Amino acid sequence: MLDTIINSLKSSGVYGWEVSDVKKNGWEFYFIRHELDQHRAKNVEHINVKVYQLTDEGDSIGFASSEIAPTASEQEIEKLVSDLSYRATLVKNRPFTLTPPAADQVSDGKASDIADISADFIRTMSELPETEGEDINSYEIFVSDVSRRLITSTGIDSTEHYPSSMIEVIVNARREGHEIELYRCYDSGTCDAAGLKRDLQKTMNYGRDRLIAGPTPINGKSDVLFSGSDACQIYRYFSERMNAALVYRQMSDYEIGKPICEEFTGDRVTVKAMRELVNSSENHAFDEEGAVIRDTVMIEDGVAKQFVGGRMFSSYLGLENSFNPTNIEVTGGSRSEEELRSGNYLEVVEFSDFQVDEITGDIFGEIRLAYLHDGDKTVPVSGGSISGSMNDFVGSMLMSKTSVQYNSMKIPALTLLRGVTVTGAEQ
């Protein structure tokens, strides 16, 4: 099949092309409570073709892409390539060179043991402590061994294997005739048993407290502590603003060698693109265009060091050895968790939605569950929202020295933003 696609591309006269072939060999399990309801094996293949067209004058380049069925006939393949070739001529971008093969291009042919990974998930879920008030309603486990091959017109032919897992869990909490459900979805490479148990135990506690929470009383400015996965959105703001696409389009004002903030009174963030994080489902040797992924410091102690990104915009900025990062590690915290948890602040642990706009820096989130900390007193609250701008928070934000990992992001376990606008719930 791939040979037929490649031969069609070679004879089509297009300027360049990329073919991605991703095969997933997986198992799926569906549990109600802890009883297996059904399970199945799943084998799927996704083939994507991308073509590039350079104008005769060489003053612009365009590209188009599409998925093609693994069962496509030779005539269907030729038609797809012809359609993509035409569509690519409709796009006019500044010329750039395509990703060349690298001397250190990596190919890895080791498959993952999906039977062992699946068994670890099932065992972990069976060991969760539950109570009459808080328990597991249902869960679904998806485990795959992924084979990914990329072939390009520039000579790249790389293959990698990696595990990819996901578990979806519904937690129930009930009290005095009232009951709620909390949904969780975890992505990982293999099963992080300790992290899964820890987070689901917290989730059951959150369900219990949500049933007794009063309305959020604050109207005004408050320090807000992030202790969950929503903090990833805060740190993704920094990594996105170091992306070549935003920089070239002047949507990011970060400059190499200059601080990302005019004045720091808090912690200075360090952001790294990582080739590998333990148990991440995004431990790739190369990005979607074939560029080798390397450990790279993007921001160091609050100073922009290295832009990264896709081939087109990296080429426009004159970046060498650039790539699209898949794993991010953030450090720079100077406080212990005990220090950050002292004083008066609002700790938000459940949002209905939390967003950070990487262009404007605006943040917004509706509060489902938070804890109002006033010295030694802690009260669960719900409702209302938080808002503000990262432009105002970057210089004064505080981070814990300890870290926590959420699949492809390793970030400080606690993040404190100062002077966030809190709108209380209606009484």
Q: Tell me the CATH number at 160.
A: 3.30.2290.10
Task: Read off the pTM.
Answer: 0.94
Q: Are residues 286 and 143 in the same domain?
A: no
Q: Are residues 227 and 87 in the same domain?
A: no
Q: Are residues 44 and 161 in the same domain?
A: yes
DSSP string, 258-310: SBSSS--SSPPPEEEEES--TT-TT--SB-TTSPBP--EEEEETTEE---B--
Q: Are residues 126 and 232 in the same domain?
A: no
End residue of a domain, out of 174, 208, 242: 208
Of 220, 239, 233, residue with least CA distance to 363: 233
Phi-psi map region of 301: left, alpha, beta (phi>0 left; psi -120 to 50 alpha): left
Q: Are residues 301 and 220 in the same domain?
A: yes
**Does residue 349 contact residue 367 with C-beta atoms inside 8 Å?**
no
CA distance 238 to 390: 10
Structurally, how many domains does the chain consist of? 2
Amino acid present at 122: I
Q: Could you tell me which residues come within 8 angstroms of residue 347 by beta carbon, excluding any fewer than 6 positions away?
A: 224, 225, 226, 227, 370, 371, 373
What pLDDT score does 162 carry? 94
What pLDDT score does 147 carry? 95
Phi-psi map region of 233: left, alpha, beta (phi>0 left; psi -120 to 50 alpha): alpha
End residue of a domain, out of 153, 187, 208: 208
What pLDDT score does 107 carry? 63
pLDDT in tens, the chain (427 residues): 899 999 999 999 999 999 999 999 999 999 999 999 999 999 999 999 999 999 988 899 999 999 999 999 999 999 999 999 999 999 999 999 999 998 766 666 678 899 999 999 999 999 999 999 999 999 999 999 999 999 999 999 999 999 999 999 999 999 988 999 999 999 999 999 999 999 999 999 999 999 999 999 989 999 999 999 999 999 999 999 999 999 999 999 999 999 999 999 999 999 999 999 999 999 999 999 999 999 999 999 999 999 999 999 999 999 989 999 999 999 999 999 999 999 999 999 999 999 999 999 999 999 999 999 998 899 999 999 999 999 999 999 999 999 999 999 999 999 999 999 999 987 5
- Structural domain harbouring 128: 2-208
Q: Are residues 148 and 264 in the same domain?
A: no
What pLDDT score does 426 carry? 74
End residue of a domain, out of 156, 181, 208: 208
Which single residue is written with the structure tokens 């790249």?
156
What pLDDT score does 104 carry? 64
The DSSP code for 402 is S
CA distance 282 to 285: 9
